[in-house]
């Protein structure tokens, strides 16, 4: 059970680090772009560690699938909300 909790936490951190890294590296000033690239590297390293974890349990994969689906749904919901606010 602890493997599922750790992997879900890692997925959340990976998605956050990659998203923040992309935004900061693209929109940041010259000083903060380095931090954005650092976030991208840390996110990629954590994603590699997550891929290399033992994922042979079916419950583990179902939990990961549900968590990633929830995260993607939440991100899409936030984007739709922001577009609606910006357009009005």
Q: Per residue of the chain (88 residues), give pLDDT as tens.
A: 676 777 778 888 888 888 888 888 888 888 888 888 999 999 999 888 877 876 667 777 777 788 788 888 888 998 899 888 888 7
pTM strictly above 0.85? no
Residue (of 47, 58, 42) closest to 7 by Cα position:
47
Q: What is the three-class DSSP state of 55?
A: coil
Domain borders along the chain are: 2-87
What CA–CA distance (Å, rounded) separates 20 from 37?
10
- Annotate 7-32 with b (16+ C-beta within 10 A) or e (fewer): bbebbeebbebbeebeebbeeeeeee
CB of 29 closer than 8 Å to CB of 55: no
pLDDT value of residue 1: 67
């Amino acid at each position: 059970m602890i493997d599922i909790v750790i992997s879900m936490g890692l997925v959340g951190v990976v998605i956050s680090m990659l998203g923040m890294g992309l935004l900061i590296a693209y929109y940041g000033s010259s000083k903060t772009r380095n931090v954005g690239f650092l976030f991208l590297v840390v996110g990629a390293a954590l994603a590699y560690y997550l891929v290399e974890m033992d994922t042979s349990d079916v419950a583990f994969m179902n939990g990961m699938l549900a968590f990633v689906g929830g995260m993607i749904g939440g991100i899409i919901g936030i984007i739709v909300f922001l577009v609606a606010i910006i357009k009005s």
